[in-house]
Amino acid sequence: MNELIEKILIEPKEIQERVKELGRKISEDYQGKEVLLVCILKGAFVFLADLIRSLDIPVRVDFIACSSYGSSTESSGVVRILKDLDYPVERKHILLIEDIVDTGLTLNYILSILKERRPLSLKVCALLDKPERRIVPVNVDYLGFKIPNEFVVGYGLDFNGHYRNLPFIAVLKKEVYSQK
């Protein structure tokens, strides 16, 4: 599998240290409150699994799944909900957990539908941000890393469903996804 990887962008140790820092910051900011972590499937499940273990505040977890129409590497901008939350968010502090913010369309859509449900607060925690690709502005309250405009996989992020299990963030060789 590694012959398809162009380079490692973020090593496992760096990820783990940053996730712990984010966990400490979130725990401080939400001291005395209970938070509902909303994980945006599928990519964010690995980040969520590590982040939740670095939090020392009361948390609950729920999951939402969306699909943006388009090819495997380009989003079309149209988002639809595949799986909605199991529980209402009204009067809860919501922290959205996302693996990567690219065009911002997914997050922008999810934020708009959750806002309508009147949570007590609504914030975003994303592991990666590719600011060069942004189409709609979104505010990321807790960010792991800013990355350049390259196609990345690993630590939950996929190409065609693969590579989510890599413990690092890597750039995939162009020939892997340009053949599609």
102, 129, 141, 158: the catalytic one is 102
Does 75 help bind ligand PRP (rule: CB under 6 A)?
yes
Q: Which helix (H) or strand (E) holds 89?
A: none
Does 100 help bind ligand PRP (rule: CB under 6 A)?
yes
Q: Supply the DSSP string of 109-170, one letter for each residue.
A: HHHHHHHTT--SEEEEEEEEE-GGG-SS----SEEEEE--SS-EEBTTB-BTTBSTT-SSEE
Among 99, 128, 153, 155, binds ligand PRP (CB under 6 A): 99
Q: Which stretch binds ligand PRP (CB under 6 A): 2-10, 34-42, 88-96, 142-150?
A: 34-42
Does 153 help bind ligand PRP (rule: CB under 6 A)?
no
Among 101, 147, 152, 172, binds ligand PRP (CB under 6 A): 101
CB atoms within 10 A of CB 48: 23
102 assigned to active site: yes
Cβ atoms of 4 and 172 within 8 Å: the answer is yes
Instruction: State both tokens at 84.
Output: 């909605």
Active site residues: 102
Interacting residue ranges for ligand PRP, rule: CB under 6 A: 40-43, 68, 75, 98-107, 158
